[in-house]
Amino acid sequence: MELLQGRIRDYAWGSRSAIAELQGRPVPSDGPEAELWLGAHPGAPATVDRDGTPVSLTDLLVAEPAHWLGERLVGRFGTRLPFLLKVLAADAPLSLQAHPDPEQARAGYAADAERVNYVDPYHKPELLVALSPFEALCGFRDPAASAAALAAFGVPALEPVVAALRAGPTGLREAVRLLLSWPATERAGLVAEMLAAEVAGPDALLARGLAVHYPADPGVLVALLLNHVQLERGEAIWMPAGNLHAYLRGTGVEIMAASDNVLRGGLTPKRVDVEELLRVLRFEVLHEPVVAPVPVAPGVVTWPVPVDDFALHEVTVEAGTAAVRLALPGPRVVLCCAGKLAIDDGVGTVTLGPGQAAVGTASGGALVIGGEGEAYVATCGR
């Protein structure tokens, strides 16, 4: 194992305390810190020290693919790390978005010469595990509940949207299309009329909270078509391809396929492409968006996902207990979130404190994690 230096992304919605506190730095930070990237994605690759010089993990993989990735992964994914591990810290809502499936990503990338929607030919399923209470929108809820929520505001202009939702799942596409295609000159008035209604309850609170940030965005209404979830620490949400979602507030560990293909529909100043988003969305109800951890060994839990790009395990080592041994396929990225841990893969040993990370190659053996604390271990899946 070797120490891995991650890269912080300073998106405007980021927290000025969460990542700094995790790493033991002064709070508040100089600016927003939204994500800590721990991987080899070319957008912000982590680095490994080589004789006092930071070397991109991306470059190391390309130079020695068999050593770092192993022949099986090179044959499956090429000379790239197929997953990206992040710490995500949101103080404001992220955009309503979805990601393509593998076939859509390949076709979109081939057709998108200007790279406005598709910047790589890969899919981007995601799993987020809460480190703190975490609020998110994830997948479509029962359309009947959405119809009731919108009808309660008593806005006549929304009647076609309500009618579409009352048709059940078959009307979801039309309801989303109507809202996201709302005439630009009428959007602020629509949101204002909705918020002026004397309506109480969680849906009204959600809409009002989003409208503080985006008072002229129909995404405020689309949000009411989604599951509004409140995660406790250790709970997760799984976001497969075509799943409309948005993070609202909180800190979590996120693992995803290493792609940056994001199709946005609202709640953002960034580019929105309604037509392409509608093409990739899956208009189906997500009945249970929250994923509970599954114990796999003493002190070890995971959140099973139906992809082979990644797997995530949380390891907890109690004081005075034996080290935890994990026979997981390499390469591995380990993030310490609490305590002090020694990580040994038979090739090298590193000691990690909160907010520190390490990386090991495919040529390493089983991970042995000792000391006292908590860590997340990212690997490839099946």
CB 70 within 8 A of CB 330: yes
Please check if 126 is assigned to a binding site: yes
Half-sphere exposure of 140 (CA within 13 A, CB side): 23
The residues, any chain, with a CB within 8 Å of residue 150's CB and separated by 6 or more, are 158, 161, 162, 165, 221, 224
- Measured CA to CA, the distance from residue 220 to residue 52 in angstroms comes to 49
CB 364 within 8 A of CB 70: no
Before 331, cis peptide (omega within 30)? yes
Please check if 245 is assigned to a binding site: yes
Which one of 264, 279, 282, 332 is the catalytic residue? Answer: 264
> Which candidate, 377, 366, 370, places its Cα nearest to that of 318?
370
The residues, any chain, with a CB within 8 Å of residue 144's CB and separated by 6 or more, are 165, 166, 168
Question: Catalytic: 264?
Answer: yes
* CA quadruple 162, 164, 168, 169: dihedral sign: negative
CB 343 within 8 A of CB 1: yes
Binding site: what residues are annotated?
97, 99, 126, 245
Residues involved in catalysis: 264
Binding site for Zn(2+): what residues are annotated?
97, 99, 126, 245
